[in-house]
Structure 1
C-alpha cells in the first residue's frame, strides 16, 4: 500500500510553492513538549476544538521519485502534519480532543452525521 500526503507547512493557500508531497510518511520522533491549540478540519465544517499535540515532530518519507528524506517540523507545521497524518491513520481531530472538549462539540458532530446520512443513504461511516 502507498500512502500519500500533500500538505502546506506554512498553512497558507497562496503559498503553493511551499506544498510538500510525502509518500509513505512515518513519524520517527515526537517531542515530549506539547501544546493545546484550537483546530478545525475541512471534513467537519465549522467545528472547532482544542487538541493537544507535540510541539515538534521528526518524520521520514519518500518524494515522488522514491528518494527518502527526513524532516523536522515544529510549531504550526508540526501540528498541520500531525493532523493530516492522523487522517492516514484513520484518526480524526475530534478523536484527539479531551473528553470535556469533545462533549462541547458532540451535538454539532451528530448533526453532521445526520446530514451525511440524509444526503448519502446506505453509505457506511464511522460514528462519533
Structure 2
C-alpha cells in the first residue's frame, strides 16, 4: 500500500466525470487500498479516485469515527445512487481537496446506493446519517461535482477564487 498525493482545488481532474470500471481486478483493489491508506492518514472519512488523480469510478469511506470504534472501511466501485428520501439532513461538510474549509450542506437524509465491492460482487446499501452524506459527497466527486457546488454562487466563487490564488503562488 502507498499513500498518494491528494489533488487540491482548482486541479481540473476534480471537475471531470470519472470513467466506469470495467472489471474489478488486482489493480483496482491496489488502488482502493492506497486510497484507504491516504484517507486514513489525511485524516478523512471518504475519498474518491479523482482526488488522487485517477479518473475512475471508485470510492472508499469509513464513517466509524468514534474513538473506540472498529474501522469499517468500504470500497465502492461504480457506485450509483438509485433512491433518495424526500427528507433532508444538514451536515457540516469538508473535503480533503478543499482543505480547511467547511460549510453546512443540505442533502437527502437517506440514500440507496448500488455498487460493486472489492471482489466485484454487486452490493446495495441503504444509508442514512453521516454515511448517507459521505456517500453522496464522494459520488459527487465521480461526476466532477464538489460540495461547494451545493452552496450559494457567492460562497462558491469566493472559495474557488481563494484556492485559485493559492495555486498561483504555490
TM-score by length of 2: 0.61
Q: Find the aligned partners of 1:112 and 1:53 in 2 and give their Cα distance.
A: 24
How far has the Cα of 1:37 moved from its partner?
A: 2.2
Deviations 1:55-110 (A, max 9, x none): 0000110112211011110011100111111111110000011x2xx534643431
Q: Deviations over 1:6-58 (max 9, x none)?
A: 11133469867301001111111011100122211111112121211010000
Q: Does the 8 A contact of 1:41 with 1:47 survive in 2?
A: yes
Tell me which residue corresponds to 1:126: none
Shift of the 110–50 alpha-carbon distance from structure 1 to 2, 3 Å rule, reads same
Gaps of 5+ in 1: 120-128
**Alignment-derived partner of residue 18 in structure 1:** 72
**Residue number in structure 2 paired with 1:63:** 117
CA–CA separation in structure 2 for the residues paired with 1:74 and 1:52: 13
TM-score, scaled to structure 1: 0.79
* Matched ranges for 1:100-111 at <5 A: 103-104=154-155, 106-111=157-162
Q: Which has the higher strand share?
A: 1
Query: Match for 2:145 among 72, 84, 91?
Result: 91
Measured in 1, the distance between the counterparts of 2:61 and 2:67 equals 10
Change (3 A) 1:80 1:13: farther
Q: CA RMSD in A?
A: 2.1
Distance 1:62 1:105, change over 3 A: closer
Is 1:10–1:77's contact at 8 Å kept on the other side of the alignment?
no
One of 100, 104, 125 as aligned partner of 1:46 = 100
